[in-house]
Chain A
């Protein structure tokens, strides 16, 4: 096994041998039987590929593809409009979820821990932010207080178990509806607009 000139042979395969390298390789091949055999094989591979015909697609290939494409017709204006509608609905649902989550968690946090949060802002020297957040925290606190009063009042009329049941049922139905909407929209091909 003689691997001395393997790099030169690979360079030959890439078509990048200069005259000096070619001469060196030829000299070596003259005296090394193993490399001569290897070079003959590499040469055969190189020229074999040059001669190897590119297989042409069978007759009727294009027509068969186009028949399937015509049947699919994914980019017909009405399908594009439908996909766009689905994307908008998806966007609205996720947007609404995002806003609701932000209001619930952000507002709740401000209502419950407004004092600590404002203290942290003041401590960090973020006076502008603190002054911006302070009235929002007040509103959140008032809203949470009102809801708490309603819940206490409602609790006197409706048993706690019933309220929990309807609350959970509402969440389950809402989640299923959202899942169905997302699932249905994913079944459609979304057309990327250029």
Chain B
């Protein structure tokens, strides 16, 4: 009799994976591939690289599946691994100049690198917002994407980032202000450098 994986909880599936059941992992991949891919893509902004790195995230999940405990939601654990993986990937990447450590970034100046050409071409609101989000430093980008795009709560983001809720609220506050300033300057046709 074929087992119905779709009815199993995330935790049950992780236990099954740890017992050698590949189909259980396939179900987890199906459940979370879009979430992982979209978060990785938001942080990397290169579709091909995001595809490779999102796959690596799932390999990491597979290798560490026994470490998952149902203390947190599986999605929280997945995003935590994904964000840490992307940060590590950037650290390893020789060409990546941007500060990759969240704490380092907190101290670093907020920098917009939107090109003038992009600013003028990107007239559509969604494109402008997308660009503005893309240009945010990770420490601000991550909470704003998780909160507004993925609909996660402050608590969930706090669990993912490993920082207190008060800090997450501050970062979200700052991120929104930066996005607002970016949008306003884009609408005025200014270049924020």
Q: Which residues of A contact B37 (CB under 8 A)?
A: 55-58, 61
Q: Which residues of B contact A169 (CB under 8 A)?
A: none
A68/B126 contact (C-beta < 8 A), A49-B149, A52-B149 known: no
Which one of A49, A62, A65 has the greatest number of beta carbons of chain B within 10 Å?
A: A65
Task: Report whether B55 and A64 are in contact in the complex, using a CB–CB cutoff of 8 Å.
Answer: yes
Task: Report whether A44 and B18 are in contact in the complex, using a CB–CB cutoff of 8 Å.
Answer: no
CB within 8 A of A75: which of B17, B30, B36, B187? B17
A192/B67 contact (C-beta < 8 A), A45-B180, A51-B126 known: yes
Q: How far is the CB of B157 from chain A (nearest CB, A)?
A: 13
* Number of interchain pairs (Cβ within 8 Å): 113
Q: Which residues of A contact B17 (CB under 8 A)?
A: 75
CB within 8 A of B125: which of A13, A44, A57, A66? A44
In the assembled complex, A69 has its CB within 8 A of some CB on chain B: yes
In the assembled complex, A46 has its CB within 8 A of some CB on chain B: yes
Q: How far is the CB of B113 from chain A (nearest CB, A)?
A: 19
A37/B184 contact (C-beta < 8 A), A52-B129, A57-B33 known: yes
**Chain B positions 5-31 with a Cβ under 8 Å from a chain A Cβ:** 15, 17-22, 25-26, 29-30
> How big is the A interface, by class?
35 or more
Which A residue sits closest to B52, measured CB to CB? Answer: A64
In the assembled complex, A70 has its CB within 8 A of some CB on chain B: yes
Task: Report whether A66 and B66 are in contact in the complex, using a CB–CB cutoff of 8 Å.
Answer: no
Q: How far is the CB of A188 from chain B (nearest CB, A)?
A: 11
Task: Report whether B22 and A191 are in contact in the complex, using a CB–CB cutoff of 8 Å.
Answer: no
Q: Which residues of A contact B25 (CB under 8 A)?
A: 66, 69
Q: How far is the CB of A144 from chain B (nearest CB, A)?
A: 46
In the assembled complex, B140 has its CB within 8 A of some CB on chain A: no
**Chain B positions 179-193 with a Cβ under 8 Å from a chain A Cβ:** 179-180, 183-184, 187
Give the complex CA separation of A102 and B24 in angstroms: 46
Task: Report whether B63 and A61 are in contact in the complex, using a CB–CB cutoff of 8 Å.
Answer: no
A68/B129 contact (C-beta < 8 A), A10-B173, A41-B180 known: no
Task: Report whether B59 and A192 are in contact in the complex, using a CB–CB cutoff of 8 Å.
Answer: no
Q: Which residues of B contact A58 (CB under 8 A)?
A: 37, 47, 51
CB within 8 A of B66: which of A52, A55, A194? A194
In the assembled complex, B79 has its CB within 8 A of some CB on chain A: no
Q: Which residues of B contact A80 (CB under 8 A)?
A: 19-20
Task: Report whether A191 and B18 are in contact in the complex, using a CB–CB cutoff of 8 Å.
Answer: yes
A61/B183 contact (C-beta < 8 A), A51-B126, A52-B149 known: no
In the assembled complex, A72 has its CB within 8 A of some CB on chain B: yes
- What would 18 A/B residue contacts be, using CB atoms closer than 8 Å? A44-B129, A45-B179, A45-B180, A49-B129, A51-B126, A57-B33, A58-B37, A61-B29, A61-B33, A62-B33, A65-B29, A65-B59, A66-B26, A75-B19, A77-B20, A189-B63, A191-B66, A194-B18
A: residues with CB less than 8 A from B are 10, 13, 37-38, 41-42, 44-46, 48-49, 51-52, 54-58, 61-62, 64-66, 68-70, 72-77, 80, 189-194
Closest 7 CB pairs of A and B: A192-B66, A48-B129, A49-B148, A57-B37, A57-B33, A55-B38, A41-B180
